Amino acid sequence: MENLLSSAASHETLPENFVFAPDQRPPASAADVALPVIDLARPRDEVRRAVLEAGKELGFFQVVNHGVPEQAVRDIEACCEEFFRLPAADKAAFYSEDTDRPNRLFSSTTYGTGGERYWRDCLRLACRFPVDAAARVAWPDKPARLRSAVEAFVAPARAVGMELLRLLCEGVGLRPDYFEGELSGGDVVVNVNHYPPCPDPERALGLPPHCDRNLITLLLQGGVPGLQVSYRGDWIRVQPVPGAFVVNFGHQLEIATNGLLRSVEHRAAPNAAVPRTSVATFIMPTEDCLVAPAAELVGACNPPRYRAVTFREFMRVYKAVGARRESVEKAFRI
Ligand code: OGA
Ligand code: NI
């Protein structure tokens, strides 16, 4: 519990174990590369083309007019910010370092593979789909509106993800419902990331460079920038667009499309001035789901690039080798 950054009074100096050498934490690019912002209310053909193009080129894009009610977005953002402002004693009840617990509050200050530390706390919520009473009561009961805000948000957010998957299927030549069923049938996991003001943000990281482990991710970045995406050897900053989702592909989508849609590395940078809270919604396969390159996308001149793996086994290996793209590739490439 003493590890939670958001429960400490304030941070005057950056402890040594949070400091990264410049080669481990190169600054973000000065170039102004903007992620495409795709309006999902445009005609479907146009949206399909835009999503596929952005997905192939950058592996990241933003979507607006996505159909999740504005109120639902405002409510979840407000409740999540409020959660991290609760008194330390209220948060302590939910704190756990047991990585097998589906619902918990933890801090990246306890990651410890190489002794390095990250400037981020995280509230992890597992949302069975559809949400039932048992899932709800496993979430924090403070702030009072949090449970209903999460419930009202998760279903429409998941629907946006599923619609994007259908569009991508049509774009790459898979049947539109390819990702229905087991491939997207696991818990929807909501990670609320919280980055308190950091005394030396240029030398620290909120989240290390990583690829997401799931199928597809929808991120509410909030109003404070911090997300940075790997692009042609540089780190580009993602400018916040109010109410938009930042969308990116997880490893499972890369494996299933045999590398056509790539999982791209990203990281989060803290800042000195204001706290930042982001809400990441992960669509996951079921644990037993066998993920493999789709038969439609492999052939004589396009052999499978990844071995088939159950999602459970993938997660076991991912935990052990770390989240860098290179190590995950090494473990699963043929
Ligand atoms: C994540 C993530 C980025 C952010 O939760 O996987 O990449 O800006 N978050 O918080
Ligand atoms: Ni991520």
> In ligand 1, which atom is closest to the CA atom of 217?
6
pTM: 0.96
Residue closest by Cα to atom 10 of ligand 1:
278
Residue having the nearest C-alpha atom to atom 1 of ligand 1: 280
> Is there an atom of ligand 1 within 6 Å of 270 CB?
no
Using most ligand atoms within 8 A of CB, pick from 189, 192, 237, 278 the residue to mutate for ligand 1: 278
User: Which tens digit of pLDDT belongs to each residue from 108-120?
Assistant: 865 555 677 899 9
Cα distance between residue 104 and residue 125, in whole Å: 7
Q: 212 CB under 6 A from ligand 1?
A: yes
Q: For the chain, which residues score pLDDT lower than 70? A: 1-2, 109-114
Look at residue 117 in the predicted model and tell me its pLDDT: 87
Q: Which ligand is nearest to the CA of 281?
A: 1
Give distance in angstroms: CA of 260 to centre of ligand 1.
23
How much is the pLDDT for 109?
63
Nearest alpha carbon to residue 256 among 307, 286, 294, 306: 294
Indicate the residue type of 284.
M
User: Which pLDDT tens digit goes with each residue over 28-46?
Assistant: 987 778 899 999 999 999 9
Residue 169, CA distances (Å) to 225, 268, 292 in order: 31, 29, 15
What is the distance in A from the centroid of ligand 2 to the CA of 47?
24
pLDDT given at position 235:
96
Please give the pLDDT value at position 161.
98
Chain centroid to Cα 229, Å, comes to 12
